[in-house]
Every structure is written in C-alpha cells, then in structure tokens.
Structure 1
Amino acid sequence: MAAATAMFVEVLVVGIGTLTAAVLLLVAVIGPATTAKLSPVSGSSLVAGVALAASYALGILIDRAADTVLTPQRRRLRTRYFPSHSAYAEARLRLAAHPALAARADYARSRMRICRGWVFNSMALTLAADLAMLRYSFEHRTLTLAATSLLGAVTAFGFHRAWRALTMTGYRKLAEQMLPTVSAPVPAQPQPDTALP
C-alpha cells in the first residue's frame, strides 16, 4: 500500500510540471485576450478535478518517455557495477529478501524517477514560458526571457546530474550489498617444524 501511494505521488509530482508546461503553451497559442476570458473558469472545482486527473496521466506519459530516452545512459551506468543483465536481476532478487534495504532502495528509485521526469519538465516549462512571454508586452521582456532560459537550462542540467548521481549510487550500493563477494585466499601460515632434532 505504501509503495503504491509513493508511486502515485511521484507520478503526480512529475505530471503537475508537465501540465503546467501544457497550460503555458496553451496561453502562448490562444493569446492574452482569450486567456483573460477563460481565467474565471480556472478556479472551479471541475477544472481542479480534471487538472488532477490530467496531471496523473501526463505524469505516466512523461515518466515513460523520459525512461525511454535515458535508457541507453542508464544501461551504460549499470555496466560499471553489473557485468550482465542477469547479474543485476539476481541482485534485485536478493534485495527483495531484505525489507529494510529494499525500502531504502525504493525510496532512492523514487527520487531518481522524479529527477528523470523533471529533466524533461524543466525543458518543457522553459520553452513554454518563453513562448508565452513572447505573446505579452511588458517591461524588460528580453532580460526576463534570457533569465528564464538560463534558469531552465541550469535546472534541467541539475536534474540530469541528480538523476545520474542517484542512478550510479543505487547500482553501486546494490552491487556492494547483494553481489556475492569472492573472499581472498588466506595465505598459508608457516607450520612449526615438528621434526625431532
């Protein structure tokens, strides 16, 4: 039950960012006049319910898309600690027998999935925000656009670095805890000479 709740929350966290980017893109497309007409409706409970459902659905979509795009990098990182997919699968199977360690690994994977989704959310939000700002006239628009683009690029880079670090740490810990260790042979001790003089 707790795992399912955590999964729902992480998908929702990713989906809210995706929905926000989609709304900003819609604002950019329809323009200021239509946005002003639609703004009174945005506070209704019906819209809130639809937004929650859409966030969850979009969260699933962006999570799968991000996983597909980042899979080659993830596999390269995994080969540093696991020589084959079967070795990784065996380690995961062993981990399931240790509930405390499995819970920590699940928490780490949850953070990794959120970072993975927000790599793409950051880029989508930056692009959508820039397009929306181009439709509106306000002071220092060029500076605001530049600052938004820079912040978006830094944020996307930061989420990617966090995803990579969490992924590598997860593989390293799994390998250290679950892979069978080959004990080094004990050096032979010199035996006392028992022969009589």
Structure 2
Amino acid sequence: MGVLFGVILGVGGAALDTVFVLRTGRLSMGMLIVGAAWFLLNSGVVWGLLAFVAGRLSRRSGIAALAGVVSLIAAVGSYYGYGLTFGDRVWGLQPLLPVITRWTLAAVLLGATVGFLGALSRRAGKLAYVGIATPVILALGALYLGYRDYGLNGTVIGANLFVVAACLLACGIMIWRRERIHSIVE
C-alpha cells in the first residue's frame, strides 16, 4: 500500500513540476491551484505523512519503520524516474545522482523514524501521544519552512495552513478514537 501511494505521490509531484515549469509566468486562478497542488505534493510534510500512515497501518514497530522507508523510497524513485522520462529533468541521470542519493538517504532516516512514530501512535499508554502529535509537528515545521523560503506568499501559506488544519483534525480524530476505545475497554 505504501509503495502504491509512494509512486502516486512521486509521479504526481513530478508531473506537477513539469506543468508548473512549463506554465510559469502565466498567472491565472488555474495556475494558483496548480501551484498550490505542486507545493503540497512536493512538501516534506506530505511525504512525511506518507511514512507516518504506512507506519500506522503496520502492527509492529520494526515493520512500521520499514514501511516508512519503503514508501518514501518508492516516492523518491518514481519522482525522479518520471522527471527523467517524461518531465523537466532533461539534463540526465548523472548530474542528479548526488541529489537522488541525498533524498534516498533522507527517505531511509526519516522514513524509519516517522514510520516508527506512526506505529507508536497506535499503542496503549501515554507514549502514544508522541506518535499522535507527529503529523501536527510535521505540518508546523512545513509552515515554518514555507514562510522562511517563500515569505508571505499567499499560495504557500494557504496550502500549509490547510495541511496544518487537516493534521490537527486527524490528530483530534486519533485522540477521540483512542479515548473512545479505552473507555469501552475499561
């Protein structure tokens, strides 16, 4: 499941890269929507959420960490594979190898960590709340980085605020379900 969504995320991000690069300079409502979608699909928070969900769907911590890694490696591979084959990465594989290596290493380190936190969010006990808070922490980090890199760009801030709100809602639902299940068990 994580591989499938990783491929969808990678291809979607690379395809929007191509559209965005080819149409830059033509400001319209459609391009603002494409720009917001491009920013979201290329945002670290969305990629991090992929690893979190892959980990949350796993029952054991080791498998969850592996699921986070595999889903992100699938996303990185499909992103650059699409970009090289159909997209805007026209300069070839050789100049991209250091970039691909860096993102693959990040996929391994962060995928394992965030995947593990996804599994942790399902556990009993107070430590589960650390895992549950992970999506909001990722989203707030993306909001900060978006502001740092793009300033008060309305599309970037709006897209990030949407993700923060969605992550807060998801965390609220996880906490509500958790409390509901534990009240039934007791």
Give yes or no for TM over 0.5. Answer: no
Which has the greater radius of gyration? Answer: 1
More relative contact order in 1 or in 2 (CA 8 Å, sep 6+)?
A: 1
Given the two structures, how large is their TM-score scaled by the length of structure 1? 0.37
